[in-house]
Structure 1
Amino acid sequence: MNDTTAISRHIASREITNLSSLGLAAAAAAVRDGDITSEAYTTALLQRARTLAELNAFTTIDEDAVMAAARDADKARAAGSAALLLGVPLGVKDSYLTKGLPTSLGLGALAHFVPREDADAVRAIKDAGALVFGKNNLVEMSYGLTGHNERYGQVKNPHARDHVSGGSSSGSAASVAAGIVPASLGGDTVGSIRVPASFCGVVGFKPTTGRWPRNGVAPISHTLDTTGAFARSVDDCILVDQVVTGEVAAEHSDGGYDLKGVRLAIAPRQFLDLVDSEVEGRFRDVVRQLQNAGAEVIEVDLGDDFNALIQTATWGIFAHETMGAISEFIRRHDIPTTFEAIYEGLKPQLQQAWGQIVLPGGAGAISADAYQTALNVSRPEIQRRLNTAFVSHGAQVILQPTTPCTAPLIKEQATVHIAGQEVSYLALANHTVSASSVGMPGISIPVGLSRAGLPIGLELDAPLGSDRALLEVARRIEGVVGTPLATI
């Protein structure tokens, strides 16, 4: 290779890195203003996806289709279009139906299934001019928290390839963190957006359950399922939320990020009970930072049995509703499979788990009476406890570490070590499950790196329906604790 060729390749590589570091709003503005073309931007992202293929962040990328869509976007801009996301490629979790693009739900048996319709949220981003860059890898049927998929491979953490990405929206988080796409759609039932967001160092937003459309997205639980988004900043999540819901974003000042007038709650007895010391230390540092920025921080106690209450009720609802929810989804959307076939084709560990907790009569399955108690007694009690923070104490947000540890090693993902204890990987959702239990909105924002260079996340949960207020508080907190982690 001569010097000229080497210099040309270096310049090209730097240009790709520069383009891939653009956040969603910045990329959309650049295309809209004519600073870059969608074709050039998409070309750079495709090259980055090829370079980082080892992450296993995608199940499908149709390069010809996305390039054709980019050229069409450039023609639309030349004709006067100013759509909010015109010409910007987004990732989409492979649990969302996508017209003309394979939707596997993480299953090898559906690797070549091409839907005839888009999920409602996919239609919304397309209507705003966005392109579907590709389908993000996920845990089979969204049933897992670490990012392992038997057919498509383990999704690797961009910060450390030997560590998990988190799941189930594993590829969505990894692709945003790696700068392959500026944002991606994901799904969250007990933490499947916020856990991988925390592990990969991106922003992960779970709206109030039911606020975003769920039609056309493979379900687990109609009570708990929520669609949502990953991005590299809270502002970018606000933009996606505006597109999907049609709600106009509130105006905010870009000058300063003081937290005067903001009241935050922490519940150390509940959310610092089983947490790695480094994660707890960073959490307490952040709380002090927020106080120094003017926030009022109050300490609440949700009760000795709070964690047991949310764990029992939420996981019981989660598993009890799975069979019915999936069967109805298959029927409604003409998916060429059956629940029984899905069950038979699951990887051994997951098949065993479904046999225990999902199938009627399984040793760990809850009874119909216990299910009704979880819905009608436990959930209202959980909400009552949380209202002690929101109503009685006037807190706008409850803060906690998003995950009790940083991303575990891939080879140690079945049982993980937290605070010196060996526990099930389900403990990775110990904190995210509280918002899921009653459908509250929650968001994870990155607040730094561990000594080993692994991201640490901060979870903010807010009252039902207060999504816009949550996003605004999160934006202000993000401004205080620092800019989002740089693209890998």
Structure 2
Amino acid sequence: MDRVDRRAFLKQSAQAVGAATILAMEGSVPAAARSGLTDLTATEAVAAMTRGDITTEAYAQALLDRAAALPQLNAFRVLDGDLVLEAARDADRKRAAGARPGLLHGLPIPVKDSVNTVALPTSYGTAALRDFRPAVDAAVVTALKAAGGAVMGKTNLHELSFGWTSNNGAFGPVRNPYDLTRIPGGSSGGSAAAVAARMAPLAVAEDTWASIRLPAACCGLVGLRPTYGRYPDDGIMPLTSVFDQVGPVARTVADLALFDAAVTRDGRPLGPLPLKDIRIGVSRAFFWEGLDAEVERLATEALRRLTSAGAVVVEAPAPEIVSRSPEVAATIISFEAQASIAGFLARYQAGVSFDGMFASVSDNVKTLFKALALPPNRPSREQHEAALALRAAMTAQMTDWFARTGAAALLFPATMVPPPPIGVEDAVMVGSMRVPLAAAVARNMALGSCTGFPSLILPAGLAGSGLPVGLELLGPGGSDRTLLAVGLALASVLGSAPPPNL
């Protein structure tokens, strides 16, 4: 539904929805009207609810109906419709009483189940914590609520966020809305699946190494991993002390900007930069090597379209050190994961130790965790210190690269392959080459984690198989608003991914 159609829909349904508050309170808005609401972006939905074109309860009911119709995706681990509707009614009451609506007025927002919430249990994707109730909301949830948003359930994820597939052994796999046999990416797979399937327009995800960006790319969405530390991380189970960062997935860059404004309380207007003023850096070495043919085709075509539209593409090799970013990320995560999780469990009084929790972890994650992050296989302290030094050097050299090239962002294919099948945890075929899964889906995204620079995912289109392919835009540290403005401009050329056929 394009913008004109949405406005027409809202006008046509005003009598059935916006002007009929009593009907909405009784949950009797016609199903046809509710189904159209799920196509709205977060920005459009908030504007419509703020104006009174639709009630918040009617909108919440539409999203709940959509979620109930698609249980096969397994996007949510916990979804309490009564809580969602009560929050919506409260928003309607406050608006009717003359309260000033917030930036996210009435918006139901799915939250990854590694982000603490008081109203709903937070499991971090593992069985031992299925019923854990944190005493306080995560800081980012507090910020979203303060802006008028409401928690719409907890989304399924890769267990302990330790993986890229969201094939959760405790609560079942999340399925890609574009192909139910394929992964939605991980670890924030449930958040991405919910947004792609029109269960919500915007969701909270979290990224250590690719966990916002990979699901966004796999599900035809946009996603933002902000500059490290831009959003508060209190109440989010970490795997490291230097990488973990909460952020949004959505269907439009404007909705990412809305999330950013709500969390940072920076409500300054943000629009697209003129394409002629945008310098896009491209480094063929490393990022463009060994790609699946369809990924390469779509990424190359995207560059051609951007150039034709007036953007300036700057071919400039990135520092050689960036090729070590996967090694650096893997070493730091593997060394710090156990202590990070154990410290979190103790700090938030989860009622179980790391060992007690780990005893019931599913086999796929337990095997991987033992192989990488527990003695005797965990990296040594010396290896960890060397990785931290490389990370610092990488950050400095990339800062210099941006200064030298004048590029607003470095653009590259987000992954080497389209979304792999569910159950593939070891390696995938890229052409005639067998490539480790970690490299195929997360190699290119390691640099953003290592530098802490902001990273934006945009859809490049659908492969011949109908599966989404994404692009990553990496900006210099602290350039989040500029990167969003660049994303708004580039998205106007590249467009959005077509919705999945569900």
Q: Which TM bucket (shorter chain)?
A: over 0.9
The residue identity in structure 2 corresponding to 1:208 is T
State yes or no: 1:330 paired with 2:345: yes
Match 1:373 to one of 386, 400, 407: 386
What is the aligned partner in structure 1 of residue 433 from structure 2?
421
Superposed, 1:144-223 pairs within 5 Å as: 144-223=163-242
Show the counterpart of 1:21: 39
- Alignment partner, residue 225 of structure 1: 244
Q: CA deviation at 1:487?
A: 6.1
In structure 2, what is the equivalent of residue 100 of structure 1? 119
- Closer/same/farther in 2, CA of residues 354 and 172 from structure 1, 3 Å limit: same
Q: From the superposition, tell whether residues 159 and 41 of structure 1 become closer, same or farther in structure 2 (CA, over 3 Å).
A: same
**Structure 2 equivalent of residue 319 of structure 1:** 334
TM-superposed CA distance for 1:380, in Å, is: 2.6
Shift of 1:71: 0.7
Q: List alignment gaps of at least 5 residues for structure 2.
A: 1-28
Q: Does 1:482 align with 2:482?
A: no
Counterparts of 1:74 and 1:306, CA distance in 2 = 50
Cα distance between partner residues in 1 of 2:498 and 2:351 = 41
| Match of residue 399 from structure 2 | 387
Matched position secondary structure for 1:249 = coil
The answer on 1:273 being equivalent to 2:292 is no
Counterpart selection for 2:259 from 240, 249, 261: 240
Letter in 1 for 2:394: I
Distance 2:274 2:300 in 1: 18
3-state SS of paired residue (1:268): coil
Question: Residue 120 of structure 1 aligns with which residue?
Answer: 139
Q: Aligned residue for 1:131?
A: 150
Distance in 2, Cα, partners of 1:234 & 1:251: 11
For residue 339 of structure 1, the aligned residue among 354, 379, 403 is 354
Q: 1-side partners of 2:31 and 2:302: how far apart?
A: 36
Q: Which amino acid aligns with 1:280?
A: E
Q: Tell me the distance in 2 between the aligned counterparts of 1:244 and 1:64.
A: 26
Specify the code of the residue in structure 1 equivalent to 2:342.
S
Tell me the residue number matched to 1:464. Answer: 477
CA-to-partner distance for each residue in 1:363-413, whole Å, 9 max, x for gaps?
Answer: 2x211111111112x113322442353011111100001111111111434
Q: Cα distance, 1:274 vs. partner?
A: 1.9
Structure 2 counterpart of 1:45: 63
Do the aligned residues in 2 keep the contact of 1:179 with 1:487 (CA within 8 Å)? no
Residue 473 in structure 1 maps to residue 492 in structure 2: no
Partner of 1:356: 371
Question: Deviations along 1:442-463, whole A, 9 cap, x unmatched?
Answer: 0111121111111111100001
CA–CA distance in 2 between the matches of 1:90 and 1:368? 40
User: Which amino acid is 1:249 matched to?
Assistant: R
CA contact (8 A) 1:23 1:236 kept: yes
State how far apart, in whole Å, the 1-side matches of 2:233 and 2:52 are: 34
Letter in 1 for 2:489: R
TM superposition shift of 1:75: 0.2
Pairing partner for 1:264 from 255, 273, 280: 280
2:14 aligned partner: none
Separation of aligned partners in 2, 1:107 and 1:380: 33
Give the superposition deviation at 1:485. 3.3
Instruction: Give percent identity, aligned residues only.
Output: 37
What secondary structure is seen at the aligned counterpart in 2 of 1:423? Answer: strand
Q: Secondary structure at the match of 2:77?
A: strand
| 2:129–2:357 contact (8 Å) kept in structure 1 | no
Cα distance in 2 for partners of 1:38, 1:449 equals 33
Q: Which moved more, 1:72-81 or 1:54-63?
A: 72-81
Residue 262 of structure 1 and its aligned partner are, at CA, apart by 0.9
Compute the displacement of 1:188 (Å): 0.3
Kept in 2: contact 1:446–1:485 (CA 8 A): no
Q: Does the C-alpha gap of structure 1 residues 419 and 389 become closer, same or farther in structure 2, counting only changes over 3 Å? A: farther
Query: Counterpart of 1:161 in 2: which secondary structure?
Result: coil
Q: Within 2, Cα distance between the matches of 1:218 and 1:316?
A: 19
User: Alignment partner for residue 420 of structure 2, among 385, 405, 408?
Assistant: 408
Amino acid aligned to 1:90:
I
Describe the SS at the equivalent of 1:223: coil
Unmatched runs of 5 consecutive residues or more in structure 1: 1-10
Q: Is the 8 A contact 1:100 1:116 kept in 2?
A: no
How many residue pairs get aligned? The number is: 471
* Correspondences of 1:280-319 after superposition (within 5 Å): 280-303=296-319, 306-307=322-323, 309-319=324-334
d(CA) in 1 for partners of 2:341 and 2:61? 37
Equivalent position SS for 1:324: helix
Give 3-state SS (helix, strand or coil) of 1:270's partner: coil
Structure 2: which amino acid aligns with 1:186? A
Quote the Cα distance in structure 2 between the aligned partners of 1:472 and 1:420: 39
User: What is the SS of the residue equivalent to 2:277?
Assistant: coil
Deviates more, 1:315-324 or 1:244-253: 244-253
- In the superposition, the TM-score normalised over structure 1's length comes to 0.93
Whole-angstrom CA distance in 2 between matches of 1:263 and 1:183: 29
Asked if 2 retains the 8 angstrom alpha-carbon contact of 1:21 and 1:487, the reply is no
What is the TM-score normalised by the length of structure 2?
A: 0.91
Residue of structure 1 in register with 2:17 after alignment? none
Counterpart in 1 of 2:411? Answer: 399
Q: Which runs of 4+ in 1 moved over 4 A?
A: none
Identify which range, 383-392 or 198-207, moves more after superposition.
Answer: 383-392
CA, structure 1 residues 438+303, in 2 after alignment: closer, same or farther (shift >3 Å)?
Answer: closer
CA distance in structure 2 between the partners assigned to 1:476 and 1:195 by the alignment: 22
When residues 419 and 250 of structure 1 are mapped into structure 2, their CA distance, relative to the original with a 3 A threshold, is: farther
SS at match of 1:412: coil
Change (3 A) 1:213 1:285: same
Query: Amino acid of the residue matched to residue 484 of structure 2?
Result: L
